[in-house]
Structure 1
Amino acid sequence: MRTVDITTKIETLREAKAYGRIRLKPETVKLIKENKVPKGNLVEATKLSGIFGAKKTGELLPFCHPIPLDFVALEVKVNEDNLEVFSTVRGIARTGYEMEALTAVTTALLNVYDMCKALDDSMVIEEVKLLEKSGGKSDWFRRLDGVKVNLHAENEGLRKIAEDYLKELGATFAEEAELYISIGDNLPINKEIRSLERVISLYDFRRNPKEVGKEIRVGWSDDALIIILPESEEKIRFFFETFGGIIGNLLCRR
């Protein structure tokens, strides 16, 4: 058993929202609304429990990566015969916050159960679900279906590696293309995309500082996107696994 390897993922702003509901007797709801639950203010305690649960997600679930939480909020809605909990969890990380949002809601509902178990033996936690998530790969990843690529490499082994990644992205190969990728040899670039190059260099350095001299260059030449990769299997795999999904975004925004 092992966790998912997320070392090739990039850190982006991510958010997840979750929902849960617990059914209660009307008499229990009345006590909650009047703040007469013996253990104290149930609504505020439930919010705090949800925040605590979000922070402990990585400890509770063995395959869930511990990630930094930049924002956690819980909303509690007390209805006639149930109590609803909404969670929002946000941060900048390599993986999403779905489990943190779901754990926040679950912990909050368990707190309601704990605070009311002496008052209500009919409570039922009916539903816990993810409402939405954003900021991950699905938001910015774009395949290369229909994109024509001219791939040049003297080293056949390295060419095959890049070709396999491009095929997986859906690209087709042609002499006249909108995307030119060269492994080892320089191609003329009229306008380099400095912002992307800096991000690539930063992530590359963090993975392997010893190889910092082997740059990856990205830019435009007339109407074609140019990508120049060094003759390094490690660098080629790093580029496609971490930034391969961005190529399609660059082309469609041209």
Structure 2
Amino acid sequence: GDLVSATQLTGVFSAKRVGDLLPFCHPVTVDFVEVQVRVNEEDVEVRATVGGIGRTGYEMEALTAVSVALLNVYDMCKGVDSTMVIEEIRLTEKSGGKSDWERDLSGVRVNVLSPREDLREIAVGYLKKLSAEISRDAHLLLILGEPYALEERISAFESVVAFHDFRRDPTGAGSEIRIGRDREGRLVVLIPESEDKLRFFFETFGGVLRSLL
């Protein structure tokens, strides 16, 4: 069958049935659903945009649309490749409800400082996936394994990071990741000279950096 059309239809249908699929997610009126499907040489990408006139956000409808649409891709293609993996389902932008949220860092200038070039390259790779601009004239400083004076600490966010790091690795000595602002008012993230800590931070909290700026 037509993989693209079937996947789009599945996504649209799923976005409108979230209340039936998730027992603790109350039903909302969905006024708009767009499901985009792109078939690449080695993978299939699905993106969903969902909206309505309700006061709540529609992130669960969008995430459900993508998730079930990808299950349809698996169902239609499993006869060709049963080793397929569904991965990287994430929210990229939300407006409405209790808060607005955007994962994309387009327009945000970031400077990455590290004595280790390999760590810097990893960080730059994550930032480019978030559409950030790498620049010395930065809104955000990402400092890896170097001391830096913070004028103000964002303690509440640091506590959240430490909590998730402890859940991930209870044997560790704490996240040792510091977030704050310098004298020029720039957002600063201090991460130890550790690839493990760097990847943990971006994979867990990369999407909320814009909200701290």
For the superposition of Structure 1 and Structure 2, which TM-score range results when normalised by the shorter chain?
0.5 to 0.7
Q: Given the superposition, is the C-alpha separation of residues 96 and 207 from structure 1 closer, same or farther in structure 2, using an over 3 Å criterion?
A: farther
The aligned residue for residue 206 of structure 1 is 167
| Higher-strand-fraction structure | 1
**TM-score between both structures, scaled by the size of structure 1:** 0.47
Q: What amino acid sits opposite 1:217 in the alignment? A: R
Q: Secondary structure, in 3 states, of the residue corresponding to 2:188? A: strand
Q: What amino acid sits opposite 2:146 in the alignment? A: D
Q: What amino acid sits opposite 2:154 in the alignment? A: I
The aligned residue for residue 18 of structure 1 is 16
| Equivalent of 2:146 in 185, 192, 198 | 185
**TM-score between both structures, scaled by the size of structure 2:** 0.55
Q: Given the superposition, is the C-alpha separation of residues 217 and 54 from structure 1 closer, same or farther in structure 2, using an over 3 Å criterion?
A: same
The aligned residue for residue 107 of structure 1 is none
**Is 1:144–1:169's contact at 8 Å kept on the other side of the alignment?**
yes
The aligned residue for residue 217 of structure 1 is 178
1:219-238 aligned within 5 A: 219-221=180-182, 222-238=184-200
Q: Given the superposition, is the C-alpha separation of residues 213 and 201 from structure 1 closer, same or farther in structure 2, using an over 3 Å criterion?
A: closer
| Equivalent of 1:154 in 91, 115, 119 | 115
Q: What amino acid sits opposite 1:231 in the alignment? A: E
Work out the number of aligned pairs and report it: 141
Distance in 2 between residues matched to 1:147 and 1:54, nearest whole Å = 37
Distance in 1 between residues matched to 2:176 and 2:200, nearest whole Å = 12
Q: How far is 1:240 from its partner?
A: 0.7
Distance in 2 between residues matched to 1:164 and 1:218, nearest whole Å = 20
Distance in 2 between residues matched to 1:217 and 1:149, nearest whole Å = 17
Q: What amino acid sits opposite 2:199 in the alignment? A: R
Q: How far is 1:17 from its partner?
A: 7.2
Q: What amino acid sits opposite 2:124 in the alignment? A: E
The aligned residue for residue 138 of structure 1 is 93
Give unpaired runs (5+ residues) of structure 1: 1-15, 20-49, 56-68, 75-93, 103-135
1:1-254 aligned within 5 A: 18=16, 54=21, 69-70=23-24, 98=64, 136-139=91-94, 140-221=101-182, 222-251=184-213
Q: Secondary structure, in 3 states, of the residue corresponding to 1:145? A: coil
Distance in 1 between residues matched to 2:16 and 2:156, nearest whole Å = 34
Distance in 1 between residues matched to 2:63 and 2:113, nearest whole Å = 40
**Is 1:54–1:72's contact at 8 Å kept on the other side of the alignment?**
no
**Is 1:216–1:229's contact at 8 Å kept on the other side of the alignment?**
yes
The aligned residue for residue 5 of structure 2 is none
What is the RMSD computed on CA atoms of the aligned residues?
3.4
Distance in 2 between residues matched to 1:175 and 1:196, nearest whole Å = 25
Q: Which has the larger radius of gyration?
A: 1
Q: What amino acid sits opposite 2:177 in the alignment? A: I
Distance in 1 between residues matched to 2:24 and 2:107, nearest whole Å = 39
Give unpaired runs (5+ residues) of structure 2: 1-13, 29-59, 69-90, 95-100
Runs of 4+ with deviation above 6 angstroms: 94-97
Q: Does 1 or 2 have the higher relative contact order (CA < 8 Å, sep 6+)?
A: 1
